[in-house]
Amino acid sequence: MTPELGQLALILALLLALAQSILPLLGAWRGNRALMAVARPAAVGQAVFVAMAFGILAWAFLRFDFSVQYVADNSNLALPWYYRIAAVWGAHEGSLLLWIFILNVWTVALAAFSQKLPEVFASRVIAVMGLIAVGFLAFIIFTSNPFGRLLPMPGDGADLNPVLQDPGMTFHPPMLYMGYVGFSVAFAFSIAALLGGELEQAWVRWARPWTNIAWAFLTCGIVAGSWWAYAELGWGGWWFWDPVENASFMPWLVGAALIHAQAVTEKRGSLRAWTILLSIFAFSLSLLGTFLVRSGVLTSVHAFASDPRRGIFILAFLTIVVGGSLLLYALRAPQVLGGKPFKVLSRETVLLIGNLMFAVAAAMVLLGTLFPLIGDALNLGRISVGPPYFGFLFPLLMLPVVLLLPFGPFLRWGKGEAPAIGQVLLRAGVAAAACAIAAAFLVDGQLKAIAGVAAAAWVIAGVLLYALKRWRELPRGRRYPAEMAGMLLAHLGVGVFVAGVLLSESLSVTRDVRMAPGESQHIGSYEFRFDGVHRANGPNWKADQGVVTVIRDGRELTVMHPQKRTYLRGQVQTESAVDAGVTRDLYVALGEPMDAGNVEGAWALRLYYKPFVRWIWAGGLLMMLGGLVCATDKRFRLKRGAETETGAVAGLQVQENRA
Amino acid sequence: MNRLLPFIGFMLLVGLFGFGIWWNTRHDPNAIPTPLLNKPAPAFNLPKLYEPAQTVGKADLLGKPYLLNVFASWCIECGVEHPVLTAEGPSLGVTLVGYNYKDAPADAKNWLARHGNPYDLLIADEPGQTAIDFGVYGAPESFLIDAKGVIRYKHIGPLTQGVVAKELKPAIAAMLKEAP
């Protein structure tokens, strides 16, 4: 009976979402306060019912209700409880439910924190969120019901995809969705502004913390996904330019551009139309990601069941939401080039170049991802582009971003002074050159590694120089407001990330070896001794577990246990063993026994020495932290009505100009 | 006009996606082109499962069309396919050759004893070397090979009633019509 209640809750949520979207829009149009007032209670009501549906599905998993098809397909009696919770979003139907649930979390947060916004504007924003919810609720109810029953009820279920039975994968989808869905807030702000023909730019400042938080979550989700791919897939890679990874990376790139464009628009009033367009793009790409993953138009390692009906539904929804908002943009976008003028040598110019680079990079990723589809359409046969395409174009596009990054903060709004720039160029340049020379001796002429060290030194020196400048020139308390601190942290993250990528890519050592028990392999100063394989058992798997002892300078450093697991339903999954470190990871993956029946004999193993690979994720986490810190800035807190806020902006701009 | 550009670009994308969905309903997105299709099957020489001393080669099977069915006792999907093979096998009009893939002979025999043996002939490829020549992707997999030793049809994954009715039987019919 309970699963039917879940379905009923979803239907009620859909009805409330309809009320939440249609009535306030009508009210805002007609100036009817009663209709506008529907927005918040309807949003909260919708969230309650969606949470109920989510809870009921989780409960069905917890008490092994295999009469629910989705539960039977994705769990079994031996699956530990934490993975049964994670199984709620382990497949198509449940992950959609998670998507909707998170959309409701954002909507309720928005409803709670928008009390001080002008009523017309706030009700439009919430109504747009409601429209998105209508689409997704209809999608889940009509094409992807998670509460479908299975008759007769099986005694035990299948299994959660073993690839997903990993802590990293448990957090990856919720974080990613927090990011994807979070962009809906910036989107809703833009649409509300277009609908209302907002002349003031105040709404951009209201939207900024939301964008920053969404982007931070997306960063966190991508980092978790990358870490999971590294630890779980056994190839030692951290990014594969897989269509589904790309689907999460495109909104990230556009989101990064949006964060910067919003700053320009908020403080200077320029780039208004561009900011609106980027907010539409960021969320559209999130929807597109959902479409690509769920429709089966592209196949990838994330092979989800594809159903043409679902594809058609999402495509129709995508057309209405994205097509509609782009049409609205074409009709209503700010007609005049507003904002204060700026010179060629100014902060605006640098931010604009960065913005263009991010946008072009996102377009490049989109083109590469859709290439197989274009190939089919133009009858070129089955083709796809892979790492060579992305690996060549992406660094090329990001090079200007990295080069310009130190200058951004030093340049002033409107105009910059050449001498100040020369100074940065000189100091950061010297730091980069010195680090590069030092690195050249250490890494033995590996060009990529030297470039990585130089680029990281360049970025980090730039960030530190600016931090120092503020420390010297401003009084205590004014030096690092949250917005500034967040920016510095995120930019520091870029430097750390660049170092991690280039150093690990160029200096990694991979060995595919055959090892008999007792044999050793050397990588650099590390000795890997294979001590054989024994059996290990988990709650729902059996494994061949290798024992690899790592020795350095005659001292035992660590013992690693790579596994080859066989889950209850026969799926085989490698569990690599990773010994993490600040300057290097040691990574061992167990292959196959050389002689099929003989587990005690020699095995194929893959050994990796990956220097600085952890910096990649550390950089990502710094960027995430930067986004979150930035969002806490006091300036973004809504205190009084809109008029006084505008006054505060003017005051702050004076302060910014002095800074 | 400039402001309409994003909209126009997006509509082009929608067109592409619509095409993608249409294409997927016409084509199996997971279809893997088989370079061996309509080419002579690779030569092989494998021991019989029940009499390992005797081997069967490609030449021994020439002259009569056969369905080479790759299976293993460890393969879950093969259990799904097995009842279909048992039911449909006799009415196919071709010899049913079981290709036991990367399996311990004892396990395979146990499995057949438990589930029944629909095969006319059973060969064993325990090391899985010959399977590489066939481009075997995983078990189960089926190859329809005609009297001249040419691969006429290939199916990856379990043969279901639907696949047998819609693909395998038409392929057999076409083959028999051509060379009775």
pLDDT in tens, A527-551: 999 998 988 998 888 899 999 999 9
Q: Which of A329, A330, A377 sits opposite B16 (nearest CB)?
A: A377
Q: Does pLDDT of A108 surpass 60? A: yes
Using CA atoms, how far apart are residues A140 and B118, in angstroms rounded to an integer?
A: 43
Q: SS3 for A316?
A: helix
- CA A511/CA A509 separation, integer angstroms: 7
Three-state SS at A479:
coil
Which of chain A's residues have a Cβ under 8 Å away from the Cβ of B14? Answer: 315, 318-319, 323
Would the pLDDT of A656 be above 50? no
CB < 8 Å to B11, chain A: 323
**CATH number of the domain enclosing B165:** 3.40.30.10
**Rounded CA gap, B49 and B120, in Å?**
12
Q: What are the Cα distances from residue B170, in Å, to A60, A70, A366, B97, B153?
A: 45, 35, 41, 19, 10
pLDDT of residue A416: 73
Residue with the bigger pLDDT between A296 and A178: it is A178
- Is A297 in contact with B10 (Cβ distance < 8 A)? no
Of the two residues A509 and A375, the one the predictor is more confident about is A509
Task: Please indicate if any CB of chain A lies within 8 Å of the CB of B138.
Answer: no
- pLDDT of A495-510, one tens digit each? 999 999 999 988 888 8
Residue A420 and residue A410 in contact, taking contact as beta carbons nearer than 8 Å: yes
With CB atoms and an 8 Å threshold, state whether A329 touches B18: no
Q: Chain A contact for B31, CB < 8 A?
A: no
- The pair of structure tokens assigned to A439 is 């690195």
Nearest C-alpha neighbor of B118 from the set B72, B149, B84 = B84
Neighbours of B76 (CB within 10 A): 14
* pLDDT value of residue A652: 40
Residue A138 CB contacts under 8 Å (≥ 6 apart), including other chains: A14, A313
Residues B5 and B52 placed together within one structural domain of the fold: no
CA nearest neighbour of A477 among A347, A651, A628, A655: A655
Out of A245-259, A638-652, B136-150, least confident range: A638-652
Range of the domain at B18: 1-31
* C-alpha Rg value of chain B to the nearest Å: 21
Query: Which helix (H) or strand (E) element contains residue B122?
Result: strand B121-125
State the pLDDT at residue A233: 76
> A536-540 — which CB contacts under 8 Å span 24+ positions?
A536/A561, A536/A563, A538/A565, A539/A78, A539/A79, A539/A80, A540/A76, A540/A78, A540/A79, A540/A80, A540/A159, A540/A567, A540/A568
Nearest residue of B to residue A594 by CA position? B127
Would you tell me which residues 562-591 of chain A have a C-beta closer than 8 angstroms to some C-beta of chain B?
Answer: 569-570
Quick one: B9 and B50 in the same domain?
A: no
Number of domains in chain B: 2
Chain A hits for B75, CB-CB cut-off 8 Å, are 570
- Give ∠ CA A180-A181-A187 in degrees, rounded to 5: 100
ipTM score for this prediction: 0.78
3 state DSSP class of A530 = strand
Task: Identify the three-state secondary structure at position B97.
Answer: strand
At residue A379 the predicted structure's pLDDT band, cuts being 50, 70 and 90, is: confident
Rounded to 5 degrees, φ, ψ at A519 are: -80, 155
> Does B98 lie in the same domain as B15?
no
* Residues near A49 by beta carbon (within 8 Å), at least 6 away in sequence: A9, A10, A12, A13, A16
Residue-level pLDDT at A658: 38
**Calpha distance A627→A493 (Å, rounded):** 11
Task: Report the DSSP beta bridge partners of residue A537.
Answer: A542
pLDDT band at residue A625, thresholds of 50, 70 and 90?
very high
Residue A116 confidence (pLDDT):
85
Nearest-Cα distance to chain B for A151, in Å, is 19
pLDDT digits (tens), chain B, 180 positions: 578 888 999 999 888 888 877 776 666 655 556 677 788 888 888 999 988 888 888 888 888 899 999 998 877 778 888 888 888 888 888 999 999 988 888 888 988 988 889 999 999 988 888 888 888 877 788 999 988 888 888 888 888 888 888 888 888 888 888 765
A642: confidence class by pLDDT, cuts 50, 70, 90: very low
Q: How confident is the model at residue A653 (pLDDT cuts 50, 70, 90)?
A: very low
Token pair in block for residue B145:
């090979």
- A327 has a chain B CB within 8 A of its CB: yes
Distance CA A584, CA A562 (A): 18
Same domain, B103 and B158: yes
List the Cα angle B11/B15/B16 in 5-degree steps: 115
Query: Is the pLDDT assigned to residue A643 strictly greater than 60?
Result: no
Taking the C-alpha atoms of residue A406 and residue A419, their distance in angstroms, rounded to an integer, is 15
3-class DSSP state for residue A238? coil
Run of H or E including A124:
helix A119-143
Position A440 pLDDT exceeds 90 = no
Q: How far apart are CA B16 and CA B20, in angstroms?
A: 6
**CB-neighbour burial class of residue A642 (10 A; exposed 0-12, middle 13-18, buried 19+):** middle
Separation between Cα atoms, residue B119 and residue B96, nearest integer Å: 5
What's the CA gap between A154 and A165, in Å, rounded?
A: 22
Taking the C-alpha atoms of residue B54 and residue A575, their distance in angstroms, rounded to an integer, is: 41
B16 touches chain A (CB under 8 A): yes
Q: What angle do CA A588, A589, A591 make, to 5 degrees?
A: 140
B14 with B77, same domain: the answer is no
pLDDT on residue A300: 42
Helix (H, G, I), strand (E, B) or coil at B33: coil
DSSP symbols for A518-529:
T-EEEETTEEEE
Assign A434 to helix, strand or coil: helix
Contacts of A286 (CB under 8 A, 6+ apart): A179, A180, A181, A183, A184, A251
Distance from CA of A297 to the nearest CA of B (A): 6
Query: Could you say which of B7, B30, B76 has the minimum Cβ distance to residue A326?
Result: B7
| A305, β-bridge pairs | none
Question: B3, A329: Cβ pair inside 8 Å?
Answer: yes
Q: Is B23 on the interface with A (CB under 8 A)?
A: yes
Shared domain check, B113 and B51: yes
B28, B50, B62, B55: which is closest to B149 by C-alpha? B62
In this structure, the answer to whether residues B8 and B55 fall within a common structural domain is no
Nearest CA in chain B to A325: B7
pTM of the prediction?
0.81
Beta bridge partners of A548: A530, A560
Tell me which long-range contacts A33-37 makes (C-beta under 8 A, separation of at least 24).
Answer: A33/A119, A36/A119, A36/A120, A36/A123, A37/A123
Could you tell me the two tokens for A638? 């809504």
For residues B67 and B2, membership in a common domain is answered with no
**Which pLDDT belongs to residue A292?**
77
Which of B1, B3, B26, B34 to probe the A interface (max A CBs under 10 A)? Answer: B3
Share of chain A above pLDDT 70, in %: 92
CA-CA distances (angstroms) from residue B145 to A69, A502, B40, B66, B96?
39, 51, 8, 5, 11
Same domain for B57 and B45: yes
User: What are the φ and ψ backbone dihedral angles of A592, each rounded to 5 degrees?
Assistant: -115, 155
With beta carbons under 8 A apart, name residues in chain A contacting B18.
Answer: 315
Q: Which residue of A has its CA nearest to B27?
A: A376
Q: How many beta-carbon contacts under 8 Å exist across A and B?
A: 77
Q: Residue A386 phi/psi, 5° resolution? A: -130, -150
- Residue A654: the pLDDT is 38
B146 and B113 in a common domain:
yes
Residues B17 and B92 in one domain: no
Per-residue pLDDT for A649 more than 60? no
Radius of gyration of chain A (CA): 27
- Asked whether the beta carbons of residue B24 and residue A330 sit closer than 8 angstroms, the reply is no
Strand A526-537 to strand A520-523: parallel, antiparallel, or no bridges (unpaired)?
A: antiparallel
Q: Which residues 57-86 of B are in CB contact (within 8 Å) with A?
A: 74-76
List of residues 6+ apart from A67 with CB closer than 8 A: A3, A149, A150, A151, A153
Give the pLDDT mean for A233-242: 81
Same domain, B61 and B72: yes
pLDDT in the model for residue A257: 96
Q: Which residue does chain A place closest to B7, by CA atoms? A: A326
Best of B12, B21, B102, B126 to substitute, by most chain A Cβ atoms within 10 angstroms, is B21
**Do residue B29 and residue A284 have CB atoms under 8 angstroms apart?**
no
φ, ψ for residue A344 (rounded to 5)?
Answer: -60, -45
Q: What is the pLDDT of residues A127-172, one digit of tens each?
A: 999 999 999 999 999 988 999 988 888 888 888 888 788 887 788 8
Please list, residue by residue across A104-128, b when 16 or more beta carbons sit within 10 angstroms of its beta carbon and e when fewer do: bbbbbebbeebeebbbbbbbbbbbb
Q: Are A552 and A525 in contact (CB under 8 A)?
A: yes
d(CA A141, CA A654): 53
Closest CA to B37 of B162, B142, B164: B142
Say whether A570 and B11 touch across the interface (CB within 8 A): no
